[in-house]
Amino acid sequence: MKRVYYHYELWEDFHNGMYEDSSPSDEELISNAVQLLSNSDLLYLQMSRAVREWCNSGEMNMSNRSRNRQAWLGQAACSIAYGVPENLTKIAWRSLTPEVRSRANAVADMVISEWELTRFRSTKVLNTN
């Protein structure tokens, strides 16, 4: 898989405020992130939405296998769903039980697999024309 780069000004997650610093005392945003990360069905929908709607950010992060794609998907899901910046998503993550973390990572792995299959198919189609 070819790794893709985009300048940060083209990142949809950047424009959504995912990388802005927020006060760790913003309990509502942290609570929203905890709830999302704990709900496998909703998490799947929001992770899938992030890679679908954030084309540049999704392609750049998902094509980089050396990056923690599970973490990016969780952070992107919280950002796209509730506007939670990554620093608060990390706080939410630390509050989860190991079982909930494992389920969230399994959801991310499913989205990663689906993205790779879709990317492989579309690349294969593009290369045969």
Kindly list the domain boundaries of the chain, sorted by start residue. Answer: 11-128
By C-alpha distance, which of 115, 90, 103, 83 is closest to 4?
115
Dig out the tokens for 47 from the structure.
Answer: 């992770």
Per-residue pLDDT of the chain (129 residues; tens, 9 = 90+): 688 888 999 999 999 999 998 877 899 999 999 999 999 999 999 999 999 999 999 999 999 999 999 999 999 999 999 999 999 999 999 999 999 999 999 999 999 999 999 886 665 545 544
Give yes or no for a contact between 4 and 60, defined as CB atoms under 8 angstroms apart: yes
Rounded CA-CA distance 68/3 in Å is 14
Dig out the tokens for 21 from the structure.
Answer: 């610093």
By C-alpha distance, which of 75, 74, 78, 70 is closest to 33?
78
